[in-house]
Amino acid sequence: MGSFAEAVNSTPVARAQAERTSPLNIAHVGDSMEMGGAEKLTATLCRLQRDRGHTVSVHCLYGLGVLGEELQAEGFEVFLHHPSSFLKRMRNLYRSFRRSRPDVVHCHNATAAIMAAFPARLAGVKTVIVTRHGLVKPPYQIRRELKFALASRWCDWIVGVCEGTRTNLLAAPFAARDKIIQIYNGAVPADIRAVPRPKKGFTLLYVGRLAPLKDHATLLQAVALTRAQQPDVQLWIVGDGPLEFSLRKLTDELGLKECVTFFGEQADVSPFLLAADLFVSSSVTEGLPVSLLEAMSVGLPAVVTDVGGMGEIARLSGAVTLVPSSDPEGMAKALCDAAAGKQKLSELGQLASHCYEQYFRPERMLDEYMSLYRRCVSHNQASHSA
C-alpha cells in the first residue's frame, strides 16, 4: 500500500507555495517531551513546520522533558498540563484549544488521542489526527485499545509509522479501519561535521532508552559470546532509563566491564554514529526507531531483531541484518560475521545511506503530514460551509 501523500495530486513546489500563502496553526499533543523516538520526531516536525511559516505549539500531558525545554528556549509555546485527574486534563486541553484556535491538533500515541481528540472537536478544531509510534502488537492491551478506538472516532486519520504498525492497528479491537494509513518516520541526519568519538576495536553502538522492551540483556549476552571469537569487540550504550543499574550489574557479571561503556543520555549522538562500525538493537518490540534512521543517515549498517518495522527497513535498504528476538546466540553469530567481514561494511553503509535519502529524510515525512493536514482542513472546511 502506498503512503497517503503519494496519492495527493500536488508537487513539492505547489505544496511549498500553498504553505507560504496559507499558514496553519498546528498543536501537537504528547505524554511528554522527554528524549525518546516519538518525542524527537515531534520536535523535528515542530521545527520544520515553523520553518515553513506555520504557527506551532506543543501540549505535554505529564512532563515537559529536555526536548520541551529546548523548544521553549527556541520560542515555541509548550504547555504543561500539570498532573491532575483525567477529566481536569481534558478540560484544560479544551480551554487551551478554545483560546489558541488551532487548525490542526496532532496527537502522538494513544494516551494523547484519548485525552485530546474529543476536547479538540468540542473546541471547534476542524482537523484531528493521531500517530501511533509503536508497533501496537497483539496481544492488545484491551482497555487502552478500546479507549483509543472510541477516541479515534473523533480523529480524521490514524497514522502508523510502518506497515507493521498499520497492519496491527487494522486488527485491533473495534478499529476505525477506514481511517488507518501509514507514513514513514523521518529523522534529522547526524551532523557529519562532528568530531568522531575516539574508539578502539570493532565498535557496536546502541542508542535508546534503557527500558524492558529493549531487552538489553540479550544484547549483552550476545556481546559476551561474540568476544570469545572477536576479542576486540566493544559496545557503546547511549541513553538512560530505569534499567541502567541492573544492566551495569549484568555487564560486570558477564565480565564485560572493560568493553562495554555506558554514556548516558546525549543531546547529540553524531560523534558516536560517525565513529561506530555497526548499529545494534535487541528490542522485543519496535515501531520505526528514529535512532536506526539516524545511523543510516551516516551510512552505518545494522544488526537488529526482526520486530516491528525492522524487516521493512531491511528489505528497503539491504543494509540491515535481522536476527530473532531474545536469541543471544543468533545475535552473536550475526555480530561475529559482521566483525569478520569488515571489508563489506562500507558497501552496506552506502546502501544504508541511499535508503535513508530515498525514504527517511525529515522533509519527506513533513511533506506527507502537511499533505494530510491540508486535505483534511480543505475537506472539513468544505463540509462546514455546506
3-state secondary structure 336-359: HHHHHCHHHHHHHHHHHHHHHHHH
Average pLDDT on 96-116 reads: 97
pLDDT for the residue 22:
87
The answer to whether residues 198 and 228 touch, using CB atoms and an 8 Å cutoff, is: no
Residue 385 pLDDT > 90, yes or no? no
Question: How do 180-182 and 77-80 pair as beta strands?
Answer: unpaired
Read off the amino acid at residue 113: A
Domains and CATH numbers, the chain: 4-186+361-385 (3.40.50.2000), 202-359 (3.40.50.2000)
Residue 219 pLDDT > 90, yes or no? yes
Q: Which residues pair with 29 in a beta bridge?
A: 59, 107
Which pLDDT band, with edges at 50, 70 and 90, does 6 fall under? Answer: very low
**Residue 33 CB burial class (10 angstroms; 0-12, 13-18, ≥19):** buried
Which pLDDT band, with edges at 50, 70 and 90, does 9 fall under? Answer: very low
First to last CA, the chain: 32
Whether omega before 139 lies within 30 degrees of 0, making that bond cis, reads yes
Q: What is the pLDDT of residues 135-164, one digit of tens each?
A: 887 777 888 889 999 999 999 999 999 999
Q: How far is the C-alpha of 113 from the C-alpha of 86, rounded, in Å?
A: 13
Q: How far is the C-alpha of 113 from the C-alpha of 108, rounded, in Å?
A: 7
Q: Mean of the per-residue pLDDT values for the chain? A: 92
Q: Which residues pair with 57 in a beta bridge?
A: 27, 77
pLDDT: is 314 or 85 the higher one? 314
Residue 177 φ/ψ region, left for φ over 0, alpha for ψ in the -120 to 50 degree band, beta for the rest: alpha
Average pLDDT on 265-279 reads: 96
pLDDT for the residue 230:
96
Q: How far is the C-alpha of 383 from the C-alpha of 386, rounded, in Å?
A: 5
Average pLDDT on 257-279 reads: 96
**Cell numbers at 240, concatenated:** 538512560
Helical H segments across the chain, by residue range: 12-21, 37-51, 65-73, 86-100, 110-122, 142-152, 163-171, 216-227, 244-253, 270-275, 290-297, 310-317, 328-340, 345-359, 362-385
Residue 11 pLDDT > 60, yes or no? no
Phi, psi of 144 (to 5 degrees): -65, -40
Within 10 A of 94 (CB to CB), how many other CB atoms are there?
17
CA-to-CA dists, residue 311 to 163, 305, 315, 324, angstroms: 10, 9, 6, 11
Q: How far is the C-alpha of 120 from the C-alpha of 134, rounded, in Å?
A: 23
pLDDT > 90 fraction of the chain, expressed in percent and rounded: 83
pLDDT for the residue 142:
85
Residue 10 pLDDT > 50, yes or no? no
Question: Locate cell 551532523: which residue?
Answer: 191
3-state secondary structure 301-330: CEEEECCCCHHHHHHHHCCEEEECCCCHHH
**Cell numbers at 246, concatenated:** 541492573
pTM summary value: 0.90
Average pLDDT on 225-254 reads: 97
Sheet holding 260-264, edge to edge: 260-264, 233-238, 202-207, 278-281, 302-305, 320-323
CA-to-CA dists, residue 324 to 9, 212, 287, 305, 328, angstroms: 40, 17, 16, 5, 9
Any residues with CB less than 8 A from the CB of 196 and at least 6 apart, and which?
A: 271, 274, 275
